[in-house]
Amino acid sequence: MELSNEFEPGGVYSLEMLCLNVLRKKPDLDYIGYYPYHMLKPILVNLDPRKLFKLENNNKRLLAHTDELWERHLKQNFQHAWPEALEKFKSFRRAYCNLKFQERKNEEEMINKLKQVREKQISKPTQILKKIPRIPLDSRGFIPKPKSLFDKAMSGYKRDRSIFHNRKK
C-alpha cells in the first residue's frame, strides 16, 4: 500500500489511507495495538531511532519485524563501525544501541577533558598591568632595530681604532 500526499481527482481516499497519511506526517505513536506490520512499515520507515526504540518497547511484537529498519539506521549513522558491531551483537538493533552508547560515552569523556583544560586555563594566574610598558625610542622617536653582525663588527673596529689612534698622539 503506497501513501501519497496528493488527492486523486475523481476518487476518495479510504479511511484507512487517510489515517496512514496522518500518521506518516505526524508519527507520535506509543501503542499500536495489533495493527499488522506490513501496514505500519511506511510509517515506521520515517521514524527516527529514538522513537522507533520507544515504540518497540511499548509493542514487543514489533521486535521480530523491525530489523531492516535498524539496519537502515545503523548504516546511515555509523557507516564505518557497523560491520564489526554486527558481528559482535548479531542484531542490528543491539548493534545500533551499543554504538550509540559508545558514542555518548566518548562525547562525555571529551566534554570532561575540555572542562579540565578550561579549568586549568582559568586557574593560571593572570597578570593585569596598570600601565602599558614603554618601548625605548632613539633620539629621532623610532624604535631602534637590532644591530646586524656587520654593524657590530664595524662598531667594534671603530672603538678599537679610536683607542689605538689616541695612544699614538
139 is a domain residue:
no
pLDDT exceeds cutoff 90 at 108? yes
pLDDT exceeds cutoff 70 at 5? no
Residue 89 sits in which domain range?
A: 15-122
64 is a domain residue:
yes
- So what's the pLDDT on residue 161? 80
Query: What is the total count of domains within the chain?
Result: 1
Among the listed residues 54, 55, 4, 49, the one whose alpha carbon sits nearest the alpha carbon of residue 25: 4
144 is a domain residue:
no
pLDDT exceeds cutoff 70 at 143? no
99 is a domain residue:
yes
155 is a domain residue:
no
State what percent of residues in the chain have pLDDT above 90.
11
pTM confidence score: 0.59
Q: What angle do CA 33, 77, 39 make, to 5 degrees?
A: 25
What 3-state class would DSSP assign to 65? Answer: coil
95 is a domain residue:
yes
156 is a domain residue:
no
